[in-house]
Amino acid sequence: MLKEEEKAQKEEMQQPEEQEKSTVHNLENEETKDINEEEKAGKKEVEAGTTEEEDADAGAAAETDTVEESVPEEEQGEECSETKREETGAAEEIGRLKVELEKLVAEKEDLTNRLLRLQADFDNFRKRSRKEQEEFAKYASQNLIEKLLPVLDNFGRALEAGDDNARSFKDGVEMIYKQLLGILEQEGLKPIEAENQPFDPNFHEAVMQVETDEYPDNTVVEELQKGYRLKNKVIRPAMVKVAKNN
């Protein structure tokens, strides 16, 4: 009898624990169901939002197409006219540039031809000038020789006269000398004054000094060889004696 009573007591104690476990299990199942239902609801909302966005994009595209289709034909015509005007202006500008290019090319060719002609003329001028200079150097003394020919003739006549008349011979030689000197003076030859002139190393060449009190110191007392100038250039200084006072 005792064993049966203990067994009955144990069963009575186990019944509340089992009921409590069953209650906890049921609560957990209900919470899991609620969570699953919330997740499903969230997914549906996301899908609904995506669908709304796609519908909005489709609507915007449709509106854009509608706006494009609704552009007035007048505006399209104006755009076409503007494009044609731009193309026409570009074509005119290209034509103008081509004309200017052709003009510049023609000017370049003309300048090149002129330059070639000038170079050829300059070469010819240089050759002609060199030839004239050579001829001038070769025949520079021709004019002077032509003037000296009469002097040469007179010398011949004086030699032919001989000693028949010494006075006449002397007069003839003096005449020839004056004639020759006159021709040389016409060419710019002038004798350098020396005697009784102060010594000047630019015109005189002292070859001797003479001690004397008759002349001032450093004065030319005698001319040994006559000096000459050709225009303003000394071509031969006078050879002289110079006084030296004691």
Q: Which fold has domain 190-246?
A: Nucleotide Exchange Factor Grpe; Chain A, domain 2 (2.30.22)
pLDDT at residue number 198: 93
Of the candidates 202, 201, 160, 151, which has an alpha carbon nearest to the alpha carbon of residue 180? 151
pLDDT at residue number 4: 59
pLDDT at residue number 150: 84
Global pTM reads 0.45
- The DSSP line for 21-57 is HHHHHHHHHHHHHHHHHHHHHHHHHHHHHHHHHHHHH
Terminal Cα-to-Cα distance of the chain (whole angstroms): 197
pLDDT at residue number 37: 66
Q: Going residue by residue through the chain, which has 246 residues, state the pLDDT in tens, using 9 for 90 and above.
A: 445 555 555 555 555 555 555 555 555 566 566 556 666 665 665 555 555 555 555 555 545 554 444 445 556 666 777 787 778 888 888 888 998 999 999 999 999 999 999 999 999 999 999 988 888 777 777 777 778 888 878 877 777 766 666 777 778 888 888 888 888 888 888 999 999 999 999 999 999 999 988 899 999 999 999 899 988 899 999 999 999 987
pLDDT at residue number 60: 52
Q: Domain residue spans in the chain?
A: 190-246
pLDDT at residue number 40: 62
